[in-house]
A and B are shown apart, each in its own frame.
Chain A
Amino acid sequence: MRDWHLEGWVNADAFSGDFQNAAAPYLTEEAAMVANGPWFVSTNLRTDAAAPGLYEHTGYAPAPGWTEGERGSVVVSGAGWVSGAADEREAEAVEAFVKFMTSEAEVLTQAEQTGANPPVQVAPEAAAAADLEPLSTGLAAEAADLTYRYPHARVLGPAGLDSAWKNLWPAYVEGDMTTDEFLQRLTDDSSADGL
């Protein structure tokens, strides 16, 4: 990733890590690729912010960048629910709610409306019958064969990772610290053990 910066393969404003700095050049067809998830389709790609016809020109691919031939993806979980129900009646209601939210019909409805993938496995014929986003479903199918699949650090990583990354990454790319120093400080600064 540092080489991408040094060789100019990423935007000059990629350091800030701000979403719009990545999205805007892609939507205006100044950038060839944007790293993002299926929600990007309905929230950006199919809106007036995108250049005309951009959706039709957009494909997908798992992330390269590992050993030759190996590819990977970063998986982002959707919203979850935590119940604080204490009595039996409320617990029954929570159970019914969760069963409804994870039912095949409901997850497919959500997937159709948001452009994201169903968060639970559904029958192939039901998925085929639903009006799912092809960019999203195709990538999900391909992801099954990837060498690497990582949970998104912002969702499952330590709370301080975002600000630690933004603080250290530019200095690392500029050569102010070695890879080992960068990784050690990123670990320390983003975790509860250090700053």
Chain B
Amino acid sequence: MSTVTSHRLTRRAAGPGRRPARAAAGTPVPRGMRGPVALSLLPGLVLFGTFFLVPFAVLAVTAFAEWGGLDFTWTGAENYRRMFTDPVFFKAFGNTLFYAAASVLVQVPLGIAVGMVLALRPRGWKALRTIIFVPFVISGAAYALIFSMFYNPRSGLLNNVLGALGMPGARDWLFETATARWAVAGTFVFIIGFVVVLVMAEIASIPRELYEAASVDGATTWQQLTRITLPLLRNVIGTAILIRLLVDIGMFDLVFILTAGGPDDATATLALYAYRAYVAGQWGYANAIGSIIILIGLVLILTVRRAFRIGERTL
């Protein structure tokens, strides 16, 4: 049996009539169309400027000031100096990384595996796909409330099931320092619907001839999954990881409703900590924390895009 490798697929995909590896950049706009094109872009640019650039500029500038809405005093890098000596900031930073890592290490691999299996269209795959996707469309607040009941030490499903199985000692999962962070992560790491749908859509776009050729070559289903499907999912895996990371570094509503960041900041995130600063009237400090979140986001975008060569196609 000959081996179907991703290398071969790449070479074959680069042949005549195939899409080029990189899209052509900077296609010039015809001279007569420049006015209409500029006009059509204007509403988008105004909205982008109003709702992104201006708030971003305000955040970047006020991060260097002591500001509570009324009094405004330039303090230079004082907010950043304070941040880097603030133990709660580092706790929140560590928790944010923990949640992001939990997503990437559990949610993404699990979503890919389930997506690949469902793409084989086993019996009931449509119903399964719908069931798996439902948690993704529930609002974050409602979702958090469901899990606050699930973890309730007195009446929650978890403790009742554990009790029925004979496991001793009902725990207050969300409010014990040892379990709180894991309990919060447990609420979202199994929400795989988004990754599953992304993976299934990408698999549907893979030409069937590849599988037919592999089948003729004697490749098993497992080999087709691991040597055709998985390598061609590189783009979508990178996209799923990137989206999850960006969602997780801004995580707020889930933690705020479940634990308010407690106990003793064991579950606090950077976004929640920035919110606390805002509520305390320390808008400058809140914006300094916000600027760090943006910076982390930019680093993640660049790193993940480069690592997974998102946007480049080999087929």
Chain A residues in contact with chain B, CB under 8 A? 11-13, 15-16, 18, 21, 24-25, 158-160, 162-163, 166-171, 174, 176-177, 189-195
Contacts and interface: CB of A to CB of B under 8 A. Distances in A.
B263 A168 contact: yes
A11 B154 contact: yes
B263 A171 contact: yes
Contact of A174 (B263, B265, B276, B285): B263
Contact of B260 (A166, A192, A193): A166
A162 B280 CA distance: 12
B99 to A, nearest CB: 17
B170 interface: yes
Contacts of B268: 167
Contacts of A21: 152, 154
Contacts of A13: 152-155, 172
Contacts of A174: 176-177, 263
Contacts of B68: 192
Given A11-B154, A15-B175, A176-B177, A195 B276 contact: yes
B88 interface: yes
B260 A167 contact: yes
B265 A167 contact: yes
Given A21-B152, A176-B264, A170 B176 contact: yes
Contacts of A167: 259-265, 268
Contacts of A168: 262-264
Nearest to B145: A18
B314 interface: no
Contacts of A25: 154
Contacts of B282: 192, 195
A24 B156 CA distance: 13
Contact of A171 (B153, B154, B177, B273): B177
Contacts of B152: 13, 21
Which size bracket describes the interface of B in this complex? 20 to 34
A73 to B, nearest CB: 27
Listed residue (A11, A16, A194) with the most chain B CB atoms within 10 angstroms of its CB: A16
Nearest to A192: B281
Interface string B36-71: 000000000000000000000000000000001000
User: Chain B binding site: helix, strand, loop or mixed by DSSP?
Assistant: loop
Contacts of A24: 155
B174 interface: yes
B155 A176 contact: no
B239 interface: no
Given A163-B261, A167-B263, A195 B277 contact: yes
B269 interface: no
Contacts of A160: 276, 279-280
B177 A191 contact: no
Contacts of B265: 167
Interface in B233-268: 259-266, 268
B148 A163 contact: no
A169 B262 CA distance: 9
Nearest to B286: A195
A74 to B, nearest CB: 21
22 contacts: A12-B172, A15-B172, A15-B263, A25-B154, A159-B279, A160-B276, A163-B279, A166-B259, A166-B260, A167-B263, A167-B268, A168-B263, A170-B176, A170-B264, A171-B262, A171-B263, A174-B177, A177-B264, A191-B280, A192-B68, A192-B281, A195-B280
Nearest to B258: A16
B273 A195 contact: yes
Nearest to A158: B280
A192 B70 CA distance: 13
B1 to A, nearest CB: 60
Contact of A163 (B88, B174, B260, B266): B260
Nearest to B261: A167
Contact of B148 (A16, A190, A191): A16
Contacts of A15: 172, 174-175, 263
B280 A170 contact: no
Contacts of A159: 279-281
- Nearest 4 CB-CB pairs, A to B? A171-B264, A167-B262, A170-B263, A15-B175
